[in-house]
Amino acid sequence: MVSFTLSSAIALLAAPLLLSSSISAHPHPRSLASAGHLNCLADVLLDVPVSGLKRRAEEIKFGYGAADGPLTWPGVCQTGQFQSPIDLVNTTLLQPPSLNVQLSTAPFSANFTNLGTTVQVTIPESLGVQGHTAADGTFFKLKQFHFHITAEHTKNSQVLPMEMHMVHATDAGRISVIGVLFEMGATPNPFLAPVIAAVPGVAKPEQSTTINNLSFAPLLPLLQTSKDWIYSGSLTTPPCTEGVLFNVVDTPMTVTAEEWNTMRSVLNFNARLVVGNAGVGQPGFASGARIVVEGEGAAKAPEGAASQVGTPAATPAVTPATTPAAGSAKFFPTDKLPHVA
């Protein structure tokens, strides 16, 4: 059992309360005017050729403080019906090991950037194609991975210390995120070691450095053997676009207190709280209800779901699904939730 320092323990336990009350999660609150930092998915959104997803960097500004935190995020972030993160409590979403991942185990170097809202590792083109294949055969290419403190997804309302999001996209702009949770442990994590070593080079927003000797080898067995919580949700940062495929790995990795404190030195607290919507994975979602899946559209709860569940609000990025003619959509029971949102 690893013990936090008293200050670390108090900070971890207080984080959800601080964020929920919109009290600043940073030592120096950042206003919207001063934040000027990219969405952690901004590079994906800026690259894909999909109408509504291509946004100017200056339009995606947000933070986690009193003036620019989650309770102030506009649009779908407040009105969406299928938002992320969620509390992982609906066990119909927990699926057997199914991630068909393609990750290089050879050491590589990558750009490491402090975006002001997270720290991000961008996957270099020289590494070749990395990613995972969804149940329908669609290949999602890994673009980047970044971190959140505390973890954004909770398990039966339990808050974990940290979460990593591995962000993938297709050439058509569909987004998939593999979420890796972290719990406290006594042994240094070999996957995190190069990241931890590079943190001093990104101590301040907009700083970048090169991480050397990164390897997916310590992570790959976990992705291949763990069960996954699979659901259709949203970006966890503005513009909170819905229709994002989430695979949250059930078995957590470990992070030591020292590693966690090093990451916290640059992340502070950058987690969106669990969203109390009535969408997929929420306690309000009716048992036995079915999910309609339509190509590029967002999933929606059809007849039989809880009455408060509605069609997702339209966003600039995703056209909300509509009930198709008989035979034109694929229907899946919740205990066989597909990989494609």
Strands 139-148 and 154-155, bridge-based pairing: unpaired
Alpha-carbon span 237 to 318, nearest angstrom: 15
**How many angstroms separate the CA atoms of 31 and 209, rounded?**
26
Token reading at 246: 């989430």
Domains in the chain with CATH codes: 6-336 (3.10.200.10)
Q: Which residue has the tokens 């808050």?
A: 159
Closest-CA residue to 94 (of 269, 247, 272, 252):
247
Reported as type and span, the H/E element at residue 258 is: helix 257-267
Closest CA to 160 of 93, 252, 277: 252
Q: Distance between CA 165 and CA 119 in Å, rounded?
A: 11
pTM of the model: 0.72
- In order, the DSSP letters of 100-146 are EEE---S-EEEEEEE-SS-EEEEPPGGG---EEE-TTS-EEEEEEEE
Best CA proximity match to 281, nearest among 336, 229, 327: 229
The total of other beta-carbon atoms located within 10 Å of residue 198's CB is: 19
Q: Please report, in tens digits, the pLDDT of each residue of the chain (341 residues total).
A: 444 444 454 455 454 444 443 332 332 222 222 334 556 654 555 444 333 333 333 456 899 988 999 999 999 999 999 999 999 998 889 999 988 999 999 999 999 999 999 999 999 999 999 999 987 889 999 999 999 999 999 999 999 999 999 999 999 999 999 999 999 999 999 999 999 999 999 999 999 999 999 999 999 999 999 999 999 999 999 999 999 999 999 999 999 999 999 999 999 999 999 986 554 444 333 222 222 222 333 333 323 322 222 233 332 332 223 322 332 222 222 233 332 22
Structure tokens at 213: 């000797």
Closest by CA position to 285, among listed 307, 318, 255: 307
Residues in the chain, overall count: 341
CB-based contact 179:249 (threshold 8 Å) = yes
The pair of three-digit structure tokens given for residue 141, joined into one six-digit string: 């290419």
Q: Tell how far CA 313 is from the center of its chain.
A: 20
Structure confidence at residue 106 (pLDDT): 94
Torsion 193-274-245-317 (CA) sign: negative
Q: Please tell me the distance from the alpha carbon of residue 40 to that of residue 120, in angstroms, as a whole number.
A: 7
- How high is the pLDDT of residue 135? 77
Q: How far apart are the C-alpha atoms of 234 and 241, rounded to whole Å?
A: 5
CB atoms within 10 A of CB 298: 30
